[in-house]
Amino acid sequence: MIAHLRGRLFSKQPGQAIVEAAGVGYDVTISVPTFTSLPAEGTEVSLHIHTQVREDLIALFGFFDLREKRLFERLITVSGVGPKLAVTILSGLDPDRMIAAIRAQDHATLTRIPGVGKKLAERLSLELRDKMEDMATAPAAAVVSAGPAADDVLSALTNLGYQRPAALKAIETVVEKDKALGEDFDQLFRAALKVIR
């Protein structure tokens, strides 16, 4: 089973990336958040992979963020949710909002995702509500502990298109090395940009 893939990003488009590793081009289905996180074509990329094997097909589903892969693997345990629909669901709502909606049984938010009707929203909440505890985050606390500039830097990075979990991790990483960075927006922003993935 392929669980991880590192190589040159041969090409990318919404929904698909081709990663060349050891002379082989792997066709990987990706979500919109993963697409927006990918580097430029021709550069090295690293993806977490879920491999689906059927009689007539071997399909690779790739995720820039490990948390997104874990969420995908929980979504496909729900009856009626195949890998393609799971990718659509991940593309329609960011992981934090989706986890919150499932845990709160917020069917109205879930039905805004293309392909998710009322019955499927109810099934997602019913089958996954208790399986989301370990995936829920407390982003506000993490940002507050990083210093007064952290909230503005997080907002700036997400406005630039970076995923919130990746932006949070970058901020925490640089503040861990130098606490003073949390006091200054410009310095923290530049430092976070250097380490964000």
C-beta separation of 188 from 170 below 8 A: no
- Contact between 135 and 70 under an 8 Å Cβ cutoff? The reply is yes
Q: What CATH architecture does domain 67-135 belong to?
A: Orthogonal Bundle (1.10)
Any idea where the domains of the chain sit in the sequence? 4-63, 67-135, 139-192
Q: pLDDT (tens digit, 9 = 90+) per residue, 174-188?
A: 888 888 888 888 888
When pLDDT is cut at 50, 70 and 90, the band that residue 165 belongs to is confident
More confidently predicted of 54 and 138: 54
Q: Check if the beta carbon of residue 31 is closer than 8 Å to that of residue 68.
A: yes
CATH class of 4-63: mainly beta
pLDDT (tens digit, 9 = 90+) per residue, 95-125?
A: 888 888 898 889 999 999 888 999 999 999 9
Say whether 122 sits in a helix, a strand or coil.
helix
The β-bridge partners of 26 are 19
Query: Taking all residues of the chain, what is their mean pLDDT, rounded to a whole number?
Result: 87
Q: Which of 9-13, 115-119, 161-165 has the highest mean pLDDT?
A: 9-13
